[in-house]
């Protein structure tokens, strides 16, 4: 039985932590907004600071919005590093920091090096699957770590995900997540274009979606986000402001590598337009709203 810390109980983090609470492990929790009562009722132990979590847990998981948030929780006042250093003189097992946020690969390598320097291990393990995957313990988890460290934490990761893959060393998990976000973002936009075309041409988008799900165009994006677009359900899910943040990381990383990602840049601009229309908190499938504005047509107008 392990002692696991979990920091960040948002839309994704809470259901992920919930699966740990259903296991045999002891779970220490911290989040800025306060630990939900149901988590405490199911055995979670509330901690006032990330430092307190780090002093008690063998594995410390973070699930946070952005790179600066991870840096602050790791290295800020009363952060994880402070908790790890507090016990550095004791003959304790090397602890593992597992960051499951989506952040910069370059920053990830820096964070890993700093954690290694104080005698502990680091895993970057970003996820794909959205809130539904988190709720069903069906996330895809992409890990960057030393092989021995990965093998140590894999059983814990498997409590939250159905596909857990070691991609390479530190930073490789985040590189894989960038590739994931390129594909997902462009596919969401493509589904929006397709359903908009169908509706404007006079066919039933729902029947077309059902037909396409059985062919080569079928995908989880068409299944989940296509349904959201047709039913006009834009409560998150995965917020547009977070999708835009991820694409900021994608495009900054591409720039650093000297490569162009023109279609990704276009999708990024459509998400910028959503935010300009007060859509930061919409689900990322709501990119279709900007396509509809360009076409002066809403998908639902021609549905039966």
State both tokens at 142.
């992409």
pLDDT for the residue numbered 237:
86
What is the average pLDDT across 174-182?
97
Give yes or no for residue 229 having a pLDDT over 80: yes
Mean pLDDT of 285-300: 96
In the three-class reduction of DSSP (H, G, I as helix; E, B as strand; rest coil), residue 99 is classed as: strand
- The rounded mean pLDDT for the chain is 95
pLDDT score of 277: 97
As a whole number of angstroms, the distance between CA 179 and CA 189 comes to 16
What CATH fold (topology level) applies to the domain 3-170? Answer: Rossmann fold (3.40.50)
| pLDDT for res 89 | 52
**In the predicted model, what is the mean pLDDT of residues 67-77?**
97
pLDDT at 140 over 90: yes
Higher pLDDT, 1 or 264: 264
pLDDT band of residue 92 (cuts 50, 70, 90) is: low
What is the distance of C-alpha 251 from the center of its chain? Answer: 17
Instruction: Look at residue 301 and tell me whether its pLDDT is greater than 70.
Output: no
Q: φ, ψ for residue 166 (rounded to 5)? A: -85, 115
Check whether 87 has a pLDDT greater than 90.
no
Q: Given this model, what pLDDT does residue 253 score? A: 94
pLDDT band, very low/low/confident/very high, at 93 (cuts 50, 70, 90): confident
**CA-to-CA distance for 199 and 178, rounded, in angstroms?**
32
Q: Please, what is the Cα angle at 110 between 156 and 6, to 5 degrees?
A: 30
Verify cis geometry, omega within 30 degrees of 0, for the bond prior to 237: yes
Question: What is the C-alpha to C-alpha distance for residues 219 and 284, in angstroms, rounded to an integer?
Answer: 16
Contact between residue 86 and residue 51 where contact means Cβ atoms under 8 Å apart: yes
Q: Which residues of 91-128 are buried (b: 16+ CB within 10 A; e: fewer)?
A: eeeebbbbbbbbbbbebbbebbebbeeeebbbbbbbbb
- Beta-carbon count within 10 A of 39 CB: 20
According to CATH, the topology of domain 176-302 is 1.10.1040
Residue 169, pLDDT score = 98
Q: Is the pLDDT assigned to residue 91 strictly greater than 50? A: no
Q: For the chain, list the strands marked E by DSSP.
A: 3-7, 26-30, 45-46, 59-62, 96-99, 121-124, 127-128, 139-144, 161-168
Task: Domain ranges for the chain, please list them.
Answer: 3-170, 176-302
Tell me which of 35-39, 91-95, 148-152, 207-211 is least confident.
91-95
Calculate what percentage of the chain has a pLDDT beyond 70.
97
What are phi and psi for residue 146, nearest 5 degrees?
Answer: -70, 145
83 vs 76: CA distance, rounded Å: 11
Judge whether 177 counts as a catalytic residue: yes
* Residue 18 · residue 39 · CB < 8 Å: yes
Catalytic residue among 14, 154, 177, 239, which? 177
**Beta carbons of 65 and 93 less than 8 angstroms apart:** no
Q: Is the pLDDT of residue 176 over 90?
A: yes
pLDDT class for 303, splitting at 50, 70, 90? Answer: very low
Q: What pLDDT is recorded for position 300?
A: 77
């Amino acid at each position: 039985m392990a002692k696991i810390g979990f920091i960040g109980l948002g839309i994704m983090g809470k259901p992920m932590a919930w699966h740990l609470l259903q296991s045999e492990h002891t779970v220490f929790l911290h989040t800025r907004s306060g630990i939900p009562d149901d988590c405490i009722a199911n055995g979670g132990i509330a901690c006032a600071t990330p430092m307190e979590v780090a002093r008690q847990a063998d594995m410390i998981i973070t699930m946070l919005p952005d790179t600066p948030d991870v840096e602050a929780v790791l290295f800020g006042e009363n952060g994880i590093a402070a908790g790890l250093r507090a016990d550095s003189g004791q003959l304790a097992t090397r602890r593992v920091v597992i960051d499951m946020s989506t952040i910069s690969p370059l920053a990830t390598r820096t964070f890993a090096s700093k954690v290694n320097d104080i005698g502990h291990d680091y895993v970057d393990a970003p996820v794909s699957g959205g809130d539904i995957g988190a709720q069903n313990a069906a996330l895809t988890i992409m890990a960057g770590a030393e092989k021995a460290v990965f093998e140590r934490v894999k059983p814990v990761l498997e409590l939250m995900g159905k596909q857990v893959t070691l991609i390479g060393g530190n930073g490789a998990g985040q590189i894989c997540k960038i590739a994931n976000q390129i594909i997902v973002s462009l596919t969401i936009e493509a589904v929006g274009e397709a359903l908009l075309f169908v509706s404007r041409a006079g066919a039933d988008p729902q029947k077309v979606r059902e037909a396409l799900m059985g062919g080569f165009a079928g995908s989880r994006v068409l299944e989940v986000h296509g349904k959201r677009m047709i039913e006009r359900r834009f409560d998150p899910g995965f917020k547009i402001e977070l999708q835009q943040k991820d694409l900021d990381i994608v495009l900054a990383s591409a720039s650093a590598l000297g490569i162009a990602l023109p279609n990704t840049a276009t999708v990024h601009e459509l998400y910028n337009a959503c935010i300009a229309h007060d859509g930061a908190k919409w689900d990322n499938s709501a990119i279709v709203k900007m396509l509809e504005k360009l076409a002066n047509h809403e998908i639902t107008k021609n549905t039966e």
